[in-house]
Structure 1
Amino acid sequence: MSGSLLKNFLKFSYGSLIGLFLGLATTMLTTRLFPPEAFGKVTMFELLLKVGMIITIFGADQAFVRFFYEEDSQKRGALLYKTLRIPLFCTLLLTLVIITWFEPITFFLVEEPSIKVAVWLVIGIIAQLLFRYTQLVIRMQQKGNLYSLIQILQKVFNLSFILIFFYAMGNKFEVLILSKIITIMLLVIVGIYIGKNFWKLNNIRDKETKHSQMEIFKFGAPFVLTIFISWLFESFDKIALRQWSDFEELGLYAAAMRLVALIMVVRQTFSTFWTPVAYEKFEKAPEDRLFFRQITIIISFILFLLAIVSISIKDVLVSLLGSEYENASSIMPFLVFMPIFYTISETTVIGINFYKKTKMHILIAVIACSFNILGNWVLVPKFGALGASISTAFSFIIFFTIRTQLSQRYYKVNYPTIKIYIMTLIVSCYALYSVFITNFWWNIVVGIIPTFLLITIFFKDIYNILKNKTKIISKI
């Protein structure tokens, strides 16, 4: 990896790291101020906000990214507004749907019909749409420091508004929703100011871009299905808890999810880092398959270690949430599997990406999503949030398996899959044991066993990698 690429990566990633600690501080505060039911309702609101974003943006953001560097630099502002036309039209249609059927929609979200919540949802979707584009403008100009600044401001603004509205309104769920929406609206203003050359109104009248409206539509439309299925795959656990359990269970589940934030940041940061490195390596030396095996070994070892540590200190982490959320300790152990297997699969899915077999991603998402829906349908009515976490863990193992096997058809690498599956079984047993154990110290002592087995299983590989670390680093 070149020095400039690494420098750029660090610029884009430090905001995520600072945001992690600010996010944890916000979680610690809000779980002491708001009951689990409030968290559950806000989770549903955020869920619909996200699916509204998928529907309205209609893949046009992907077209903006794809065509950005092909467009003349003076015409990129015109491209921005051209790619915004379809999303704005879709937003108008979705607004009519939400306002017309606000009663059943808001009842599903917060268990009461509310035109106020419907209006907030519409404003939130519009704000999210514009925020997405302001972020893309900054990202595509490779302004890493500004991108990180926006991420930090998002956490700071949100925490500030939560405190302000809490003292004005009390511990109502509306406080968390309003804080989120106003934060996004402020960030849109900041983002538009930063990229003001792109957002000049005279760019709307400029029609002479290299790519037509039809090209934008044709490129972006296929992403809608893929992104929607991926959203359903990662969100059905929450939908299942809303349907077959209650808001308290959903709130506990959402709080437990925030405790695996460290591993989630590793997932996001590694994905940002890995994609350009993998493509660059494949272009320069496609025959060097050992490199991809070694990266998979390193990331697997680190993530399994993080999983074991997270499970062993789950009671410490849950204690940060406050007494009302102590039941989240039995939910958390299996939630670590989601970021772990997504991240490891990013290193093993490369064959599909290298050979541009992107339709395979739809097949993968459909199969994994089907397992997740079936698992939640069976487990959530009986076990609540614990059932949702187990189903999610199992479906992400399936996700990793399918990604790896299909990738091997196009670019065969000797991945340590047997070792990964052995560690999966070991960590699964520890997670299941940890669900029922109540003694904090005994949970830590038992955690020594999977840690020892992890080191034993990967010892030879890690030793050889450390021994030849200079050669490996030179390849990056």
Structure 2
Amino acid sequence: MNAKKIAAFAIGPIGSAALGFITLPLITWFYSAEDVGRIAMLQVLLSFCVLVFALGLDQAYVRNYHDSQNKPSLLKTSLTPGFLLLIIASVCALLFPGAISELLFGVKSTLISVVIVSCMLAALVSRFLSLVLRMQEKGLAFSLSQLLPKIVFIFILVTYITFSFGNDFRHLIIAHAISIITVTIIFAWNTRQVWLAAYKEPIDQNELTTMLSFGMPLIVGGAAFWGLTAIDRLFLRSFSTFEELGVYSVASSFAAVAIIFQSVFSTVWAPTVYRWASEGLNNEKIDSVTEHVLATVVFIFILAGLFSGVVSYILPKEYGNVQYILVACMAYPLFYTLSETTVVGLGITRKSSYAMIASLLAVLVNLIGNYLLVPKYGAAGASVSTAIAFWIFLVCRTEFSCISWRQLPRTKLYSVTFACLIACVGTSLCGSNYPSLAVFPWILIGCTSLYIFRSSIGAARAEFIRQIQQ
């Protein structure tokens, strides 16, 4: 992809994050921390739905896209099995009115249960339709599909606030549901030519078998990855309070700065590296990308560590600890993004079982960490546990890629990321007690990184000058 296409894909995540910084203060000032925590549980469920019911076929779709001669058939073959399974599961769940909402939110409501099921179906369809735009490299359409639902959500919140109603949990979840369904409608419109053509195509049984052989290990791996990203919230739900869950959710939402980087890079990287694979790999290219991504990850950590205190000026006092756990919450998207560059060997060699093992090992670490830390430290303990688990995830994916493909240069990778991890742990657990010392580790890492990554800084500067001169 050229710079213009990358910029087009970047508009969505950057704009969504910017709009998120508008919605977060609105939600935190007008809704209780308990309600914010309940919405976090909805997000946990939706991520589970997409990761499990996709059956790994979403990743198989990306892997096979450039090799497929019938892309509408590929979409239908990828989407249909999981969608049918989700419909069956949804019908079974609705046979017990109000059970879903009571289990998830501690509130028994048939209406909310129906809303939850609608969100699940919309989220799964959106996942596959977004991949169509992603693989077609239609960055602007992809970005607009992300931005418009955020605008809809803000409009609903402003309407609630203006007319002094809707400041309860039921109205908040309805607003979220409308925005999620809006995403699906917009994606459906932007991809209408493909899915209309797919509707007429038969499911390719042979291709489905091949894709399932690639995707089946990713079902377990997907469930493990969901656990890796959701265990913290589940432990906070069970061993702490909805207030702590709300604080953690707000900190995770502010970590959207890092999710911008993860989203843009993941969107661009997968199609690019698989195209390189079909054309003949240049290992030096991949190593160079890894080096630059590592530098970017480290400097995002540093900036977050130095300036996280700014969020305390825009949030109510009950969210004061957000500034200290924010950096650790960024470990998930940053370490995950970095692992996407080092795990490429597993995709190229189709050793998806190794990806599953990496997820399982990391989720085990997260289980132990949350069990030990959440009862005592609450949201801070959850953030630390998840940060450690994702560093283990990065190491496992990298090592398995080395085993299945080739040896990667990784001494700098491990040493620098481990230093960031230690700083995250210290800031989360001790920052509120020693606020004046919380920034010191980040100053030290920052000064060191300016020297270590001087070549990446020079390359970024040269590219910036080149783009200006064009």
Please classify the TM superposition score into its range, dividing by the shorter chain length: 0.7 to 0.9
- 1:204-223 equivalences in 2 (<5 Å): 204=199, 206-207=201-202, 220-223=215-218
Tell me the SS of whatever aligns to 2:431.
helix
Name the structure 2 match of 1:305: 299
Alignment match of 2:370 (pick from 376, 382, 387):
376
TM-score (norm 2): 0.86
Which amino acid letter does the alignment assign opposite residue 416 of structure 2?
I
Say if 2:27 is the partner of 1:30: yes
2:171 corresponds to 1:172: no
Aligned residue in 1 for 2:127: 132
Instruction: Indicate conservation of the 8 Å contact 2:62/2:271, yes or no.
Output: no
Structure 1 counterpart SS, 2:320: helix
- Unaligned runs of at least 5 residues, structure 2: none
1:228 match: 223
* Structure 1 unaligned regions, length at least 5: none
- State the alpha-carbon separation in 2 of the partners of residues 446 and 72 from structure 1: 53
Q: How does 1:24-423 map to 2 (within 5 A)?
A: 24-62=21-59, 64-65=61-62, 76-77=71-72, 80-81=75-76, 83-166=78-161, 167=163, 169-200=165-196, 204=199, 206-207=201-202, 220-279=215-274, 288-289=283-284, 291-409=285-403, 410-415=405-410, 416-417=412-413, 419-420=415-416, 423=419
Kindly provide the amino acid, as one letter, of the partner of residue 229 in structure 2.
Answer: E
What is the deviation of 1:121? 1.2
The amino acid that maps onto 1:392 is T
Distance in 2, matches of 1:9 and 1:314, equals: 27
Query: Residues 454, 431 of structure 1: CA spacing in aligned structure 2 closer, same or farther, 3 A cutoff?
Result: farther
Alpha-carbon offset, residue 42 of structure 1: 0.8
Structure 2 Cα separation of the partners of residues 417 and 206 of structure 1: 46
Contact 1:57 1:90 in 2 (8 A): no
Query: TM-score under structure 1 normalisation?
Result: 0.85
Flag the 1:464–1:170 CA change in 2: closer, same or farther, 3 A: closer
Q: 1:421 deviation in Å?
A: 5.1
Note the C-alpha offset of 1:115.
1.6
Once the 2 structures are TM-superposed, how far is the Cα of residue 313 of structure 1 from its aligned partner?
2.0
Query: How many Å separate the matches in 2 of 1:385 and 1:9?
Result: 35
Alpha-carbon spacing, 1:298–1:219, altered in 2? closer, same or farther (3 Å): closer
Per-residue deviation, residues 376-411 of structure 1 (Å, max 9, x unmatched): 111111211111111111111111222222222331
CA apart distance, 1:346: 2.4
User: 1:93 offset after TM fit, Å?
Assistant: 1.9
Relative to structure 2, which stretch is displaced further, 132-141 or 429-438?
Answer: 429-438
Q: Which amino acid aligns with 2:24?
A: T
Structure-2 change in CA distance of 1:338 and 1:206 (3 Å): closer
| Residues 82/445 of structure 1: CA separation in 2 closer, same or farther (3 Å cut) | closer
The Cα RMSD (Å) is 3.3
In structure 2, distance between residues paired with 1:428 and 1:390: 7
User: 1:448 — aligned with what?
Assistant: 443
Q: Is the 8 A contact 2:98 2:111 kept in 1?
A: no
Structure 1 window deviating more from structure 2 (18-27 vs 400-409): it is 400-409
What CA distance in whole angstroms lies between the structure 1 residues aligned with 2:107 and 2:319? 24
Q: Distance in 2 between matches of 1:225 and 1:212?
A: 21
Contact 1:158 1:179 in 2 (8 A): yes
Offset at residue 350 of structure 1 (A): 3.1
2:431 to 420, 435, 453: 435
Identity percentage of aligned residues: 26
Closer, same or farther: CA 101–387 of 1 in aligned 2, 3 Å: farther
Residues 10/90 of structure 1: CA separation in 2 closer, same or farther (3 Å cut) = same
Question: The residue matched to 2:29 in structure 1 has which SS?
Answer: helix
Q: Which has the larger radius of gyration?
A: 1
Name the CA distance, whole Å, in 1 between partners of 2:277 and 2:20.
36
